[in-house]
Chains A and B, each alone.
Chain A
Amino acid sequence: MTDDTNARIDALVKNNPVVLFMKGSPLFPQCGFSSRAIAILERLGVQFESVDVLQDQAIRQGIKGYSDWPTIPQLYVGGEFVGGSDIMMEMYEAGELAELFQKAGAAAAPQA
């Protein structure tokens, strides 16, 4: 990974309270795991930034080394790596994800 890619990822992660590296866009996720991640974020009503790794091969490869995580999607909250869609689902079901967003100041009003 080049220093340039690393710096770009670093800026994305640190300048956004919630950022999801995914395949495709929130409107058109290009894989089931990314789709599941989006569904969870939308259900929690969280404002988030998304990065389509399919549009940027440097980021697509670089993010795997940056987080030491082999798959996409990847969720970052408050500059910290949270995990992929399986961890998001586990945390969502346990109520831990909503709590994490609240702590990070990223939570919107709970949706009815």
Chain B
Amino acid sequence: MPMEGSDIAALIKAGIPDADVEMTDLAGDGDHWSARVVSASFAGMPRVKQHQAVYAALGGRMGGVLHALQLTTAVPK
């Protein structure tokens, strides 16, 4: 069951309140999303930890219902 981009963004924001989340529908099928997550809380964290913080916010959906979420993380400039 695909997830709506707005639902994915809402989950990420619930887990990382200051996050700026930009969703892109890569294939136009509502199932292959790219998320760009920018948060000051990522400062000083290795990339792996930044991605793990987003996965934690997604509460176990990553790799399950969300098998193809392309993720980019960044600290605000």
Contact = CB atoms under 8 A, between A and B. Distances in A.
A91 B50 CA distance: 14
Q: Which DSSP category, helix, strand, loop or mixed, fits chain B's interface?
A: mixed
A84 B51 contact: yes
A56 interface: no
A68 B52 contact: yes
Given A90-B47, A90-B72, A71 B67 contact: yes
B63 A71 contact: yes
Contacts of B48: 69, 81-83, 87
Contacts of A91: 47
Contact of A71 (B60, B62, B72): B62
Contacts of A70: 55, 60, 62-64
Interface in B39-77: 47-48, 51-52, 55, 60, 62-64, 67-68, 70-72
Interface residues of A, number: 15
B63 A64 contact: yes
Contact of A83 (B51, B64, B68): B51
Interface in A58-88: 64, 68-71, 81-84, 86-87
A112 to B, nearest CB: 29
Interface of A: 32-33, 64, 68-71, 81-84, 86-87, 90-91
The 5 closest A-B pairs by CB, nearest first: A70-B63, A70-B62, A71-B63, A83-B48, A87-B47
